[in-house]
Amino acid sequence: MPFLVLQDRTVFEGEGFGAWPAERGEQAGEVVFNTSMSGYQEIITDLSYAGQILVLTHPQIGNYGWHDEENEADKILLKGLIVRELASGEGSLHADGSLKEFCQEHGIWGLKGVDTRALTRHIRQQGTIPGVLVVGEEDGLQYWKRVENRELNWHPHQHWVYQTTTAESYEIPGKGPFVAVLDCGAKRNILRSLQEYGFRIRVFSVTTPAEEILRARPKALVLSNGPGDPSELPEIVATIRELLPKLPILGICLGHQLLALAAGGETYKLPFGHRGGNHPVQDSRTQKATMTAQNHGYAVREESLAQSGFQVILRNLHDGTVEGMEHTTYPVFSVQYHPESAPGPEENHKIFEDFFHKIGLIG
């Protein structure tokens, strides 16, 4: 019987699908949940989920199949997928296949028939917790007797960002101004959003030195989303610190957190993260609130920004966390949420337009 066992020894049984081994095996990862009601394709292929076991809270997943063009990345670093009911997806006329087939082809361990409501409530009460997908044991208690009290080793030898970034820089043609992207695990829809404005885009690996980016003479820099703890990326923070006074910068999600660290701020881990398409964010300048798409487990500590040069301009209405900041001296701005949506509400796409209009790259 396949099952999920959390680090605190709580067991959730289910039925396996996808890439489970035939007889015995285990797959460890940080267990997180996403509350979006649709968009499972974009969520599963978002590299920000690298190393995690993802719980989708909507009761039926897979009902419109799988559309390859909606993938956010070519590689898949998700460790596992947990759903209540797995639909066949045969009703979609334009599907390239089913969610089940995609998981089989891309090495994703799936677990269906799980009480995802109970599992999500447990994570909300206990906080984000590591877990392991197991097959080949009689039950969870027997599994823990076999492994005794060992801690789950789900951390990679190298930070996940270095596994998600592009191996080599590449260019996306355009007739407009030249914009650089530092790829921390960038979603394709961030790049597509930039393409809509006609920019010529060059995507750089996070290992690229600041001087190499500056030699390319971009008009602006975008820091992308990505996985993991930003405080464990001092080399990237140092690169951004060097670029901060020299280029207009737009930071998104992990890019927002790295900007705060580069300016002397701090980040911290949220109890169970923000993952879903229904997070309200308010602009303190206009008092206007919008619904946002989010996927992150860390946040910027607001009190640490006092001497950073950044002012907080956007806050989460659920818990008051920092959702956006603007530098008082340099043309630098960042958001914690995903303005490109995909999936999620599209009312924040104007962030791109506002930023590039402000720095004079679009009219």
Q: Which of 305, 357, 349 is nearest to 331 (CA)?
A: 357
Q: What is the pLDDT of residues 285-318, one digit of tens each?
A: 999 999 999 999 999 999 999 999 999 999 999 9
Contact (CB, 8 A) for 245 and 260:
no
Contact (CB, 8 A) for 230 and 265:
no
- Per the model's pLDDT, the better-predicted residue between 85 and 138 turns out to be 85
Q: Which of 251, 247, 195 is nearest to 222 (CA)?
A: 251
42/159 Cα distance (integer angstroms)? 22
Tokens 């966390």 sit on residue: 321
Answer whether residue 196 shows pLDDT above 60: yes
- Helix (H) / strand (E) element for 42: namely helix 40-44
175/1 Cα distance (integer angstroms)? 56
Structure confidence at residue 305 (pLDDT): 98
Q: What is the pTM of this model?
A: 0.95
| Percent share of the chain, pLDDT over 70 | 95
Q: Which of 55-59, 111-115, 135-139, 323-327 bottoms out in mean pLDDT, i.e. has the lowest? A: 135-139
| Active site annotation includes 155 | no
273/316 Cα distance (integer angstroms)? 12
- Per the model's pLDDT, the better-predicted residue between 331 and 135 turns out to be 331
50/44 Cα distance (integer angstroms)? 10
Confidence of residue 136 (pLDDT cuts 50, 70, 90): confident
Structure confidence at residue 22 (pLDDT): 79
Confidence of residue 14 (pLDDT cuts 50, 70, 90): very high
Answer whether residue 147 shows pLDDT above 80: no
Q: Which of 19-33, 250-264, 284-298 bottoms out in mean pLDDT, i.e. has the lowest? A: 19-33
Q: In Å, what is the CA distance from 313 to each residue of 61, 308, 330? A: 36, 14, 15
- The residue type of 310 is F
Tokens of 217: 């003479």
Q: Give the up-direction half-sphere exposure of residue 96: CA atoms within 13 A in the CB hemisphere.
A: 9
Contact (CB, 8 A) for 138 and 55:
no
Tokens of 310: 């950044």
35/40 Cα distance (integer angstroms)? 10
Answer whether residue 60 shows pLDDT above 60: yes
Q: What is the pLDDT of residues 33-43, one digit of tens each?
A: 999 999 999 99
Tokens of 170: 């590449």
Structure confidence at residue 151 (pLDDT): 62
| Active site annotation includes 340 | yes
Select which of 137, 159, 253, 327 is catalytic: 253
Q: Tell me the domains of the chain and their CATH numbers.
A: 3-147 (3.50.30.20), 160-358 (3.40.50.880)
Answer whether residue 168 shows pLDDT above 90: yes
- Per the model's pLDDT, the better-predicted residue between 150 and 319 turns out to be 319
Q: What is the pLDDT of residues 223-256, one digit of tens each?
A: 999 999 999 999 999 999 999 999 999 999 999 9
CB atoms within 10 A of CB 21: 12
